[in-house]
Structure 1
């Protein structure tokens, strides 16, 4: 009976984790360039939790282990905005930005110019080019961003946006504000990432799918809670009957 309770608790912990992941996905349905995550679980067979001494041997006890989350790199919908400073990323590349914590990576292509003419994201992080930050003068007009990230104005080519990829993007860590950090060294994106000017990549979250997952998780959690409650009642009944016999 104790094993059943432990299994139920491990399931509830895993379901709570999945609920947190779904909630975060739903909260970022409208976040530009957001990539959803999926909870990942693994069955763990307890090697010593068995009762082989009984005539009818018990099955091995199987617990649920939280194996973290996986990053869904599926392409989000491309929405035309007509803003020449907006770019939508196609492929698995990431934009490089400078933050107070160091270099970070994002899919947020909603660029703008700050008061000093620096190209920044909508959160104010400086967009990095191959030679560092990209700055445009007040006299420059006709800003255009090419598919490879080349930025041109009335004064000619002004730089190229740094696009990078990772050998294992699943190792990227969410830092909040639609940013990722990486322990591995990024590589130049090359043809693995292209930009579409005058457009934005929307979140790849599908609300209907997430709502379905949410209902499934709630249903499973309720079933496990009910099972634990019944087991607790059975244990209480067994204790009372043993007391009566004694």
Structure 2
């Protein structure tokens, strides 16, 4: 019976982690460029249990990492000149105090010196890895073409780089809607993605599906808890009967 309790406990731990991930998906359903995640699970073999019928295999439940769906989110119109929605695979490269980061969040702004940055104030890279500066003293409308060319009036001032990786498994989430390159893959500028000025990419989370998933996981957790309680009661009853027999 102890094996059943240990297996149940391993299942509870995985379900708790799964609930946290689904709840985080729901909480970020309105976060620009957020990509929903799923917990992957696997069987973990344990030492065989010895019963009257001989040894029987025991398998625990374990987590096997988090899968992230980088599917395209919808594009929402904002009409803000420095908002860019990425259509297709790719990321903006951002320079932070902790190194290069990558994001799908194109809600950009300029700092006091006209440097193009994220809302957190981190400079956004051009297609050569440099920065883009918009002169606040110069007149002229800011335009960003689908291939990333940034112009002020009729003057070209830079080109936003959209970077991609041979495999998106290279990316690891670091918070603040940023990813870091956790591999030896080199990011390359891609021409497949398009930038849509005055738009932002929405999260690709489907709230209804995620709420349904949260209910399913919660019910599974309750069922495992009930099973463990039943097993515990049976164990106590068996010990009590053995005590009376002696």
Length-normalised TM-score, structure 2: 0.93
What are the Cα deviations for residues 144-171 of structure 1, in whole angstroms up to 9, with x where unaligned?
1111211111252111112111222123
Work out whether residues 36 and 69 of structure 2, in 8 Å CA contact, stay in contact via their aligned partners in 1. yes
User: What is the CA distance between 1:44 and its match in structure 2?
Assistant: 2.5
- SS in structure 1 opposite 2:141? coil
Which residue is 1:69 aligned to? Answer: 66
Runs of 4+ residues over 4 Å off in structure 1:
none
Which residue is 1:149 aligned to? Answer: 148
Number of corresponding residues: 243
Work out whether 1:169 is the aligned partner of 2:168: yes
- SS in structure 2 opposite 1:49? strand
Which residue is 1:160 aligned to? Answer: 159
1:36-185 matched pairs, under 5 angstroms: 36-46=36-46, 48-51=47-50, 54-55=52-53, 59-129=56-126, 130-138=128-136, 139-154=138-153, 156-184=155-183, 185=185
What are the Cα deviations for residues 93-149 of structure 1, in whole angstroms up to 9, with x where unaligned?
011011111111100001111211011112222111124121111214221111121
- SS in structure 1 opposite 2:203? coil
Distance 2:37 2:170 in 1: 12
Would the alpha carbon gap of residues 70 and 140 (structure 1) be closer, same or farther in structure 2, given more than 3 Å must change? Answer: farther
Work out whether residues 164 and 186 of structure 1, in 8 Å CA contact, stay in contact via their aligned partners in 2. no
Distance 1:222 1:36 in 2: 25
Distance 1:127 1:219 in 2: 44
Would the alpha carbon gap of residues 11 and 158 (structure 1) be closer, same or farther in structure 2, given more than 3 Å must change? Answer: same
Which residue is 2:33 aligned to? Answer: 33
What are the Cα deviations for residues 218-239 of structure 1, in whole angstroms up to 9, with x where unaligned?
0000000001111111110011
Kindly report the root-mean-square deviation, in angstroms, between the aligned alpha carbons of the 2 structures: 1.6
Distance 1:234 1:194 in 2: 63
User: What is the CA distance between 1:50 and its match in structure 2?
Assistant: 4.0
